[in-house]
Structure 1
């Protein structure tokens, strides 16, 4: 097998990945020492908020790769087969990042300090009519069961999809017309099951439980879709980064600028979709001017009676996530240029990291914005984990699924 058909992580690649993981560990330890070790409630909340924000964001980003794979499978798409091993390798990070996330979430749920989720304090709930009304949904048992079940289903169905794809390398499962039909049918069934689970989790309950319940008195029926759009466009950007990286290293021989162009169109389209959801949620809540709803945005942008230290982050985040992709990716040529796609993808990934920052921290520390350097350091640790797991997964299998029934469509694809 030639080097163009198999990715072998270089010493430099592995060193960078390990260095980023070390940075993440040092940042987390430093943050604990500075804020989490003195027993102060607010300081403990600040420490756990950083772990929560980064773990949930990066888990949903890598899981978005599997959603992309399953959605295109259900659509019987062909263009993505040219780089499907990239998508699969990123999705292979779900069990690893997911395990870390589940540990953090369960620690927050069953810890005795109630630093992030106030609804975990039964005494507080007993004296809070709104939380008491929501206790059928916001309770430790339901939170734990849904969190663990979600992690298991994402990991198992993602593993099943990857295993089915890898079976095509052997050739036997697609050696005849009948076997190819059976493979496509089985692949479609597993993809459909994942989409159903995805709809019941990411597009429904999970953002409510993991993020929205930080501000348990506030609610938005659009919040889950908003989270989906944010992490999906970030996941697409991560896929695009790896496609460009591998092409620059002589791999993915079947991928050309036509495939990159379509990835760019996805990023462009879902950036607009995210902005639509942002505006719809903001406009409806601000226009209705109901205190139980507007408090969410007042803590993030302030008003005439309340100053918010997060206003700068909030508007910068909006500018990065909307203005940058729509202006840069408006032209056809920009979506076919490796450098431009790389720059926009990095911007989008960081922009939506900021989006999750402003989702989490104003609910934990509304009057003072913490220094962001520690949180960036923790985030870099998760980047290192994703780099290491993705690189290791890519090195195990051929980068091109040459026996896939739709490989011809991938080869002749044009935009």
Structure 2
């Protein structure tokens, strides 16, 4: 039987990606019309119209950061398994290669959104450290102004995203060159190890350290957590694993990836299960330590998510608890069994749930602080729907770009020394 090595984009997948992107574009247009994002966001009072700019930029930042980190996590998967010289993912490695290719588009989009807010928008409700006059009278922000400033933010963001894209491009180039190499040629393999190692160091210094501080934690600039970057990584990482699972199962159902078997699906499922528990460990550790210490400057973060003013009045209590149910209890109860991790329907359903759950996680990382400042009348439900519509557009773009990159190379890598190990993989 001849292998189906060259992917052709089915009409149905194109329609879904176009439809989702259409929803995103329409939502964006409606946001520009009704939220007036370039009006400065400093109208009279605290109504929804006066602060439409804040809601608009929050939705764009939420989705651009989340989806960029998710596709970057796909390349982290490649780099980590490459450096570990793990053979089992080789038969589906072109899937995370294709997903991570979306960084070439999502990276610039995220930079335009983030730097557009920092340099162009007059709104200060998301990043208070943008307001120079406010910083002068805020002792804590003044103390952090050495790194919480537009220039440092810009240099770090552009450098980090640029390096991710360069490492991914270099690795992909070596991967494709290896397909054309003579049998037994190992130079590409060793060069790939070096690229993977360098990327992991860079990833550790950005996603696992500095970028979440700048992009996300500085929204609540008076608050800080030493676990925050690890927590952000765990959330995007398990969502990235779930996205890989979705595309692998989809390709299997379309008759591709013939060498991928239940063992490979089972192992991806084990990663989804294990890192859902890892995310929960970080969630609990951060929450427990802050609750136990009971310091006002730390507990304020969770008070905003469990109820404004600690009175249960906030609209984020339901999202806060749902976040824990979706991202911990569901994977724990459903993916614990061996058979569930080998069932295509179950792993597909869980992958969708986990991706949505961690999208929700990023939503509650970003939104409560600014919406609290805007007041209860700021219509948080309307903002949630708007952010969901923008997220649909980003999802459609990820699907479209991944499918496009899948068509650019054979689905089975050639001449890699570990391909045979992957084909006969059994646990």
Which category of TM-score, normalised to the shorter sequence, fits these structures?
A: over 0.9
1:65 equivalenced with 2:74 (yes/no): yes
Matches within 5 A, 1:49-60: 49-60=58-69
Matched, 1:299 2:304: yes
- Confirm whether residue 395 of structure 1 aligns to residue 407 of structure 2: yes
2:118 aligns with 109
Say if 2:153 is the partner of 1:143: yes
Q: Is the 8 A contact 2:90 2:419 kept in 1?
A: yes
Helix, strand or coil at the partner of 2:7: coil
8 Å CA contact retained: 2:189, 2:416 = no
Q: Deviations over 1:256-291 (max 9, x none)?
A: 000000000000000000000000000101111111
Aligned to 2:47: none
Q: Deviations over 1:296-317 (max 9, x none)?
A: 0000002654522110011001
Q: Deviations over 1:178-222 (max 9, x none)?
A: x32x33221111000000000000000000000110111110010
Conserved? CA contact 1:130–1:217, under 8 Å: yes
Map 1:207-356 onto structure 2 (within 5 A).
207-302=212-307, 304-305=310-311, 307-356=313-362
Aligned to 2:95: 86
1:402 positional shift? 3.1
SS in 1 for 2:321: helix
What is the distance in 2 between the residues matched to 1:215 and 1:376?
Answer: 22
**TM-score normalised per structure 1:** 0.96
- What is the CA–CA distance in structure 1 between the aligned matches of 2:40 and 2:76, rounded to whole Å? 41
Range that drifts further, 6-15 or 264-273? 6-15
Q: CA deviation at 1:3?
A: 6.9
Q: Counterpart of 2:420? A: 408
Aligned-partner SS, 1:5: coil
Q: Is 2:304–2:310's contact at 8 Å kept on the other side of the alignment?
A: no
CA contact (8 A) 2:6 2:407 kept: yes
- The 8 Å contact of residues 218 and 292 in structure 1, kept in 2 or not, is answered as yes
> SS at the partner of 1:365?
helix
User: In the comparison of the two structures, how many residue pairs are matched?
Assistant: 410
Compute the displacement of 1:75 (Å): 0.4
Equivalent residue in structure 2 for 1:170, among 175, 180, 203: 180
Q: Is the 8 A contact 2:3 2:258 kept in 1?
A: no
Q: Counterpart of 1:30? A: 30
Deviations 1:344-379, CA, capped at 9 Å, x for gaps: 000000000000110011021024324222111100
Report Cα offsets for 1:104-125 as digits up to 9, x if no partner: 1101111333242110111111
Q: Following TM superposition, by how much is the alpha carbon of 1:31 offset from its aligned partner in structure 2, in angstroms?
A: 2.0
Tell me whether 1:99 sits opposite 2:108 in the alignment.
yes
C-alpha distance in 2 between matches for 1:109 and 1:278: 29
* Contact 2:223/2:301 (<8 A) preserved: yes
The two structures, once aligned, show a CA RMSD in angstroms of 1.4
Give the corresponding residue for 2:13. Answer: 13
1:382 is aligned to: 394
Does the aligned pair in 2 maintain the 1:108–1:115 contact within 8 Å? no
Deviation at 1:33, TM superposition (A): 2.0
TM-score by length of 2: 0.93
1:126 lines up with 2:136 in the alignment: yes
